[in-house]
Chain A
Amino acid sequence: MSHRTFTITHENLLDVLTNTIAVGNRLVAPVRRGKKLFFRDVQEVQSIVFDFIQSDESPKDLVFPRVEPMLAHEYNAGNVYLIDFAEKLQPLPTILFGTRPCDAVALSLLIEFFNEGVGDPFVEQRAENLTIISIACTRADSYCFCTSVGVSPNDSRGSDVLLTPIDNDQYYGIVLTEKGNAFVKKGGDNFIPSEPKDVAQYIVTLREEFTPQEITQRLANAFNHPLWMDASLRCIGCGTCTYVCPLCSCFDIQDEGTQTKGVRLRCWDSCGFSLFTLHTSGHNPRHIQSERWRQRVMHKFSYIPQNRNLLGCVGCGRCSRLCPADMNLKEHLCTITKEMTEVKADR
């Protein structure tokens, strides 16, 4: 496969995926569990769901699992012995198939975040063994807002191969990385080399509601705006938005077991929980829910942009689709960009 671009039929694509499992790869793809759509390990490629707008959960747990054993300890005769799980981790080569481009962008940003500074051997080793085959979006729903946060329905960032469904049950594909190249190479003749094509006609058009610059500028002086309280009165603090977010990365560290034998776990956490910031003294820097909602929005759309020059959101819309209180981040951001005026800090 010398071409960067190719076409492949749906049937041949399934054969390629079947083969990746046969040669010992782990294949993770969107599958239904009841009414929900999750990324799960796939044994039979027939179970892969192609016709969907967005999965209920993001695939972030492939690099950042919701519970990660980091360390085990054992106490014996006055000594403590530690087992470093980062050294034991041997992630299987994994093909993540069928992600939406927004999720691929999010995964790459998440991996970048964990690798920055002190690094993270858990995320790093998983990421090294991960090949991401994304499918561009031909449909969107009212919750989607990727184009407003600088992501597009056929964004290629983070993907190793990007597929676009075209006519006659075929996909047009672009190989974006070495890993992508290796995946396509193994597929042999199933991939038909093709000249680069303009496939824009197949991609969904999504209206840009606001721009990243507009949001960050508006938020710069909005800490004390009454909108936070109004917008979050419905929030029940369940943390769903943070759990389904492909970019939320806050975590807790907890020990399980006894002092004699146990394990230290890293678990997903949420800035929406009151315990998140509670001091032992009883003092809580964010003691009401609106302050926690504000933190989530400010972190993603003001603090992360200040520190990393990017947004902590790819517009996947999951937080709003799945919010049991029907809070809608896109609408909230629209309000922010349209109505929020500067409110001077009251200190």
Chain B
Amino acid sequence: MMSTKNVYKPYLMRIVKIIDEAPGVKTFRLQFLNEEEGKSFTFKAGQFAEYSVFGEGESTFCIASSPTRREFIECTFRQTGRVTKALAQKEEGDIIGFRGPYGNVFPIDEWKGKNLLFIAGGIALPPMRCVIWNALDLRDWFENITVIYGARSVADLVYKYELTEWSQRTDMKLITTVDPGGETPDWNGRVGFVPTIVEQEEPSSTNTIAIVCGPPIMIKYTFPVLEKLGFTPNAIFTTLENRMKCGVGKCGRCNVGPVYVCKDGPVFTYEQLLALPAEY
């Protein structure tokens, strides 16, 4: 008799909406085919899942929607490999696989009463969008909320519709930037690499949590800027994206030092990263 559930069996999800975000980047809004499964499914900001096209394989992305909005799950991905190519060819109404949620969470309960500074680059806004919306939906919990978001070019910015909404909100500050050369004639955001913009903005580190997510190169140059501004390593959070297969600490490929990014992460403080070998 089988007493243990097969964790590798995904939920079936219907794609109810597809949004073209940027060249090669799409957002899927997903709903559980089985309503009961949808009702009992919960997750927290920072967690990820394995999304699959049956016959092609599974890919790991964060859950990009907020846990405060439970009617659907959203994910945003860039078409890069075999699975994301197959995903990108799916249409509204199609069925894909989804298993999760996996990993640890952003400890937003512990951030009550603090300023939040989000710094994201390129396709790394999705994992942050989840926690940004989570924080905005619980707006009273926090002091100032600032988002600094950059992409290679104006076209590469994701969630453009939400960036407009965020820029119009009076209870948060949004700074968008594009890499030099990526601007358009009517671009009225900033021009410059994310670490440079952070340096120019000089956000206060007092009572502030910084949440940083982006390509390795952006993270590498942003951490020192934050340290210079007085952020302590335990006040800087990031989320790692090692290659994963199982999501539950068994397949071994996301192992970095004694941790498994999939179950001990993906959320780490800079302090925790300093104690790990740089194999991420």
**Chain A residues within CB distance 8 Å of chain B:** 70-71, 73, 75, 78-80, 82, 84-87, 89, 113-115, 117-122, 124-125, 223, 249-262, 264, 266, 269, 271, 276-281, 283, 285-286, 291, 295, 298-299, 302-303, 306-307, 347
B114 within 8 A of A: no
15 CB contacts below 8 A, A to B, read: A70-B9, A71-B6, A73-B55, A79-B95, A87-B2, A120-B250, A121-B3, A252-B245, A255-B54, A255-B55, A255-B57, A259-B53, A280-B80, A283-B216, A299-B252
Give chain B interface residues in 227-245, CB to chain A under 8 Å: 241-243, 245
Asked if residues B3 and A124 are in contact (CB atoms below 8 Å), the reply is yes
With A121-B2, A347-B278 known to touch, is A262 a contact of B54 (CB < 8 Å)?
A: yes
With A75-B54, A259-B56, A291-B279 known to touch, is A118 a contact of B84 (CB < 8 Å)?
A: no
- When C-beta atoms are compared, the residue in chain B nearest to A283 turns out to be B216
Q: Give which listed residue, A70, A75, A257, A259, contacts B6 with CB less than 8 A.
A: A70
Which range holds the interface residue count of chain B?
35 or more
With A249-B252, A253-B57 known to touch, is A277 a contact of B242 (CB < 8 Å)?
A: yes
Contacts of A307 in B (CB 8 A): 258
B81 within 8 A of A: yes
- When C-beta atoms are compared, the residue in chain B nearest to A122 turns out to be B6
B39 within 8 A of A: no
With A86-B2, A285-B280, A303-B258 known to touch, is A251 a contact of B243 (CB < 8 Å)?
A: no
With A80-B95, A250-B252, A259-B86 known to touch, is A285 a contact of B242 (CB < 8 Å)?
A: yes
CA distance A96 to B243 in the complex (A): 36
Asked if residues B248 and A286 are in contact (CB atoms below 8 Å), the reply is no
Q: Give which listed residue, B242, B255, B278, contacts A299 with CB less than 8 A.
A: B255
Contacts of A271 in B (CB 8 A): 252-253
CA distance A247 to B81 in the complex (A): 31
Asked if residues B255 and A303 are in contact (CB atoms below 8 Å), the reply is yes
B16 within 8 A of A: no
With A71-B9, A87-B6, A121-B5 known to touch, is A251 a contact of B255 (CB < 8 Å)?
A: no
CA distance A117 to B279 in the complex (A): 24
Contacts of B190 in A (CB 8 A): none
Contacts of A266 in B (CB 8 A): 8
Q: Give which listed residue, B58, B97, B251, B278, contacts A251 with CB less than 8 A.
A: B251
Shortest distance from the beta carbon of A307 to any chain B beta carbon, whole Å: 6
With A124-B4, A306-B258 known to touch, is A250 a contact of B253 (CB < 8 Å)?
A: yes
Shortest distance from the beta carbon of A216 to any chain B beta carbon, whole Å: 11
CA distance A12 to B32 in the complex (A): 60
Asked if residues A259 and B258 are in contact (CB atoms below 8 Å), the reply is no
- When C-beta atoms are compared, the residue in chain A nearest to B277 turns out to be A223
B246 within 8 A of A: yes
Shortest distance from the beta carbon of A257 to any chain B beta carbon, whole Å: 5
Contacts of A306 in B (CB 8 A): 258
B215 within 8 A of A: yes
CA distance A280 to B245 in the complex (A): 13
CA distance A311 to B55 in the complex (A): 37
Asked if residues A278 and B243 are in contact (CB atoms below 8 Å), the reply is yes
Shortest distance from the beta carbon of A16 to any chain B beta carbon, whole Å: 28
B256 within 8 A of A: yes
Asked if residues B250 and A262 are in contact (CB atoms below 8 Å), the reply is no
Contacts of A78 in B (CB 8 A): 93, 95
Contacts of B84 in A (CB 8 A): 280
CA distance A251 to B126 in the complex (A): 28
B112 within 8 A of A: no
CA distance A286 to B258 in the complex (A): 16
